[in-house]
Amino acid sequence: MSQQRIEVTLAGQKITLATSVEHEPLLRAACVLVDEQIQLAIGGGNRSIERASMMAALKIAGDLITLQKNQVQVGASTNVSSDEVTRLQAEIRELEEQVDALMQTLSLPGSPRPIVP
């Protein structure tokens, strides 16, 4: 799996990230989602980009938890194979790791330190 560097924009800042070719579309989509949520938080009155980023992370985490709960409920009420549930759980974990890594590398203007979980 070869790594490549891609450039994305989050909160008005260009950021270079490393990813594999097969994960690039997912990472780009994640960046678009994160940027949209940051912009919504800023539009909602959060003047600090750091605070807006934290609010965006909390919103996305809440959405993820809701989806996970729904997945368990749907899996219990349908004939979803355990292999499919395992695959989806692995995909969710991968998305969580990518968002965590992205948030750790996000350098915010005026921020005295990087975001660290």
One-character DSSP codes across 35-94: HHHHHHHHHTT---HHHHHHHHHHHHHHHHHHHHHHHHHHHHHS---HHHHHHHHHHHHH
- The pLDDT tens digits of the residues spanning 79-103 come to 667 788 788 888 888 888 777 777 7
Kindly tell me if the per-residue pLDDT of 68 is higher than 70: yes
Task: Domain ranges for the chain, please list them.
Answer: 3-105
Give the pLDDT mean for 24-40.
93
Whole-model pTM? 0.61
pLDDT for 96: 82
Separation of first and last alpha carbons in the chain? 27
Encoded tokens for 26: 């997912």
